[in-house]
Amino acid sequence: MMRQYELVERVTRYNPNADEALLNRAYVYAMQAHGHQIRASGDPYFSHPLEVAAILTDLKLDDASIVVGLLHDTIEDTDTTRAEIDTLFGHDIGKLVDGLTKIDKLDLVSKRAEQAENLRKLLLAIADDVRVLLVKLADRLHNMRTLNFVPPHKRARIAEETMEIYAPLAGRMGMHDMREELENLSFQHLNSEAFATITARLEELRESHEQVIDSIERDLAEKFAAKGIEATVTRRQKKPYSVFRKMQQRSLGFEQLSDIFGFRVIVEGVADCYRALGIVHTTWSTVPGRFKDYISTPKPNDYRSIHTTVIGPSQQRVELQIRTDEMHRIAEYGIAAHALYKDVDVGEGGVAVDDLGAIHISRTARLEQESSAYAWLRHTVEMLAQGDNPEEFLEHTKLELFQDQVFCFTPKGRLIALPRGATPIDFAYAVHTDVGDTCVGCKINGKIMPLVTELTNGDEVEIMRSQAQTPPAAWESIVVTGKARSAIRRATRAAVRKQYTGLGRQILDRAFERAGHEFAESDLEQALPRLPQTGVDDVLAAVGRGELRSDDVIKAVHRDHPERRAKSGRRKLTGEDGWFGLSRATGLKFRVPGLGRKVEDDRRSIPIRGHKGDLPVRFAPDGGALPGDRIVGILQPGEGITIYPIHSPALKEFDNDTDNWLDVRWDIDENDPERFPATIKVTAINEPGTLAQIAQVIGENDGNIDNVRMIRRAHDFHEMIIELEVWDLKHLNRIIDLVRKRGVVSAVSRVNG
């Protein structure tokens, strides 16, 4: 385990002005806080934060980051409080440590929701201070290095989370080495057999190609030197997971891979990059389609380099990466290479260079010189403010992390980076949410194209807009970016809420009119303290959804309103009447104002949205539906709406006509109950008095027989179809159970049940 003075020495090597007293105090405090805690490996727990701090020193981070690495588990795993950290180490360090503390004591319904909420908190903290991310990645890296000590049932979950979130996040932040190590450690536990096989094959290949690799490396160095270019040429080999991923994505065998080995050329300046490229391309033949210039068009994570593949000596493909030393540093360390927070006195302009040649940018200057990778992260965090649920946020973040990039342009030349497979709709939302919401068409490279067209590198995309447009819900299945999906869902929810609000306003208009009052939103606003909603629109939407009764709203506005309005002028629902609120096309849930209670005359009904006039509602024949049943409405043109229990066999007839299915629910007034029709089938002994016994059971239990039909099945048995009236499903089930207990009854069941 690294000693106290060794940690301080590691920091002072790259930062001679380090606050040694602060580092010593944090070392001692963390060691005492974790006390005798033991890790799964059997090592003292303090060895973990110490290793995290060591990883951070490899990234040459500032004193505060090293201190946070030492303290990052104190609030979560010891009795230490945030207030105590603030007092001893300052508010800034306390804030960083708190950002790394997982959310607990939340009533989350699933492990996925817990994961999403912790990621949400982490990204919010990262957006405020990028050092949170660097410490978190170092923490995850050491945990993955010691994952073999964790119980087997936990390994797969931790490795999967690392592969899905933290490795891609490191990649998006440009931390290539960190990403590769996290991926390979995860791969080793998620697919140990494939990892072992590929590792063995790579070792065999390295040994068999050793001489060829040495020859290419030497040949490249000599050619650059002959042209006066100072260049460092190093070999590189693909990691096991990178090989596995390419085999999976392209359905290739190991023998078919041609770029397992590559070479990296480090030169002094940008001009030397292109000179070196010219030497390579004039010496060997290039492989078509394998040239990429990330210097003129950097990746979103600030990665800059030239990639090319040539047919080198021995007729083998040779993959080359050509970059400057600064580009290489950013490619390996990503956002950590920007040294945004190192403690150096910066002068006017906010930029300074220390004795070691490291660039330092003040916090103020950082806002103006923010890296593209960090800008992407801030855009991702914008989704947090949109009210998505945890699972949606996790889904969107994974979408943003995993996708390869295509680069497109606006007509004014603005570069837009999108995931591969993106459409013009994704492009529109990437430009601005308002542009996406009002998008009605597009031109790609000057030609009008469908909005479902997949974009390719270099496309110029022009979005055609209309202020009358609202994004269709179907767009959600077309887009691939989390930002677009989030915006479309948000717009859909807003449209749904607007429809519910409109319906609620209609319902209250009629309810207040029936009660002899005039509905006014100003009166409703004054009554809000007596209602469970916080705003007028919330009340209207709740009424529209059937979550709030109109009578309750009237009583809140007019306290002298009686419990129930007068019964004069009402007529009873007969099964042939009733009116519905909205069509299924809105995608909403509805209530049926006429089912199970009294309704006003036809003129008081709420019209169906998208249809003219009022549609009649009736119960299905042969059994109908009872309060307690889950029910569904079927819209039949020219006939109105028929209500079926959800288990009714008759619904099979409408399997191919799902657009006319309506979600409905009961609206029963407990103060004014009504009977509902039901049908049961009874198989009983054919002897005198059988029907009388069955009728007696039904009558004694408050059932009312409407009709009886008998069908003789055999000499000794016959079947009865009994139509009766009951209060609800529970009432019917009690009658069925009691009839079944009669000695003369062989079987009894509900028709449609």
Domain ranges of the chain: 4-196, 198-337, 374-474, 481-565, 567-674, 676-750
216-241 core/surface letters (b: 16 or more CB in 10 A; e: else): beebbbebbeeeebebebeeebbbbb
Topology (CATH level 3) of domain 676-750: Alpha-Beta Plaits (3.30.70)
Helices 390-402, 111-128: inter-axial angle, 10-degree rounding: 60
Of 464, 553, 477, 467, nearest to 512 by C-alpha is 553
Q: What is the pLDDT of residue 362?
A: 37
CATH 3.40.640.10 fits 4-196, yes or no: no
Are 580 and 664 in contact, with CB atoms under 8 Å apart?
Answer: yes
Paired with 629 in beta bridges are 627
What is the CATH code of the structural domain delimited by 198-337? Answer: 3.30.460.10
Q: What is the pLDDT of residue 109?
A: 40
For 237, the 3-state DSSP assignment is strand
Helical segments of 334-448, H only: 363-368, 372-381, 390-402, 424-431, 433-437
**Which residues of the chain, if any, have pLDDT below 70?**
102-127, 258, 337-405, 560-616, 622-623, 637-639, 658-659, 663, 667, 669, 713-715, 753
Q: What is the pLDDT of residue 138?
A: 93
Q: What is the pLDDT of residue 231?
A: 92
Are 186 and 145 in contact, with CB atoms under 8 Å apart?
Answer: no
Which string of DSSP letters, residue by residue, matches 143-206? HHHTGGGS-HHHHHHHHHHIIIIIHHHHHHTT-HHHHHHHHHHHHHHHSHHHHHHHHHHHHHHH
In the sheet with 447-449, reading across from the earlier edge strand, the strands are 447-449, 439-444, 461-465
Q: What is the pLDDT of residue 188?
A: 93
Q: What is the pLDDT of residue 57?
A: 92
Tokens of 613: 């006039």
Are 112 and 165 in contact, with CB atoms under 8 Å apart?
Answer: no
**Diameter of the chain by CA atoms?**
118
CA 411 to chain CA centroid, Å, is: 32
Q: What is the pLDDT of residue 620?
A: 80
Report the top-level CATH class of 374-474: alpha beta
Residues designated catalytic: 76-77
CA 632 to chain CA centroid, Å, is: 31
Distance in angstroms (rounded) separating the CA atoms of residues 389 and 400: 17
Kindly give, in sequence order, each residue whose CB lies less than 8 Å from that of residue 528, ignoring residues fewer than 6 positions away: 534, 535, 536, 539
Are 735 and 701 in contact, with CB atoms under 8 Å apart?
Answer: yes
Q: What is the pLDDT of residue 485?
A: 86
Are 478 and 425 in contact, with CB atoms under 8 Å apart?
Answer: yes
Instruction: Give me Rg for the CA atoms of the chain.
Output: 36
Q: Which residue type occupies 586?
A: T
Chain position carrying tokens 């817990």: 114
Tokens of 534: 């916080």
Environment class of 447 (CB within 10 Å of its CB; exposed 0-12, middle 13-18, buried 19+): exposed
Distance in angstroms (rounded) separating the CA atoms of residues 51 and 55: 6
Chain position carrying tokens 């909420």: 117
Q: What is the pLDDT of residue 343?
A: 42
Q: What is the pLDDT of residue 184?
A: 94
Which string of DSSP letters, residue by residue, matches 427-462? HHHHH-HHHHHTEEEEEETTEEE-TTPPP-TT-BEE
Q: What is the pLDDT of residue 12?
A: 92
Helical segments of 39-110, H only: 47-58, 63-71, 74-77, 82-89, 91-99
Distance in angstroms (rounded) separating the CA atoms of residues 62 and 83: 23
Q: What is the pLDDT of residue 117?
A: 66
Tokens of 619: 């119960």
How would you classify the pairing of strands 640-645 and 676-685? Answer: unpaired
How would you classify the pairing of strands 261-267 and 232-237? Answer: antiparallel
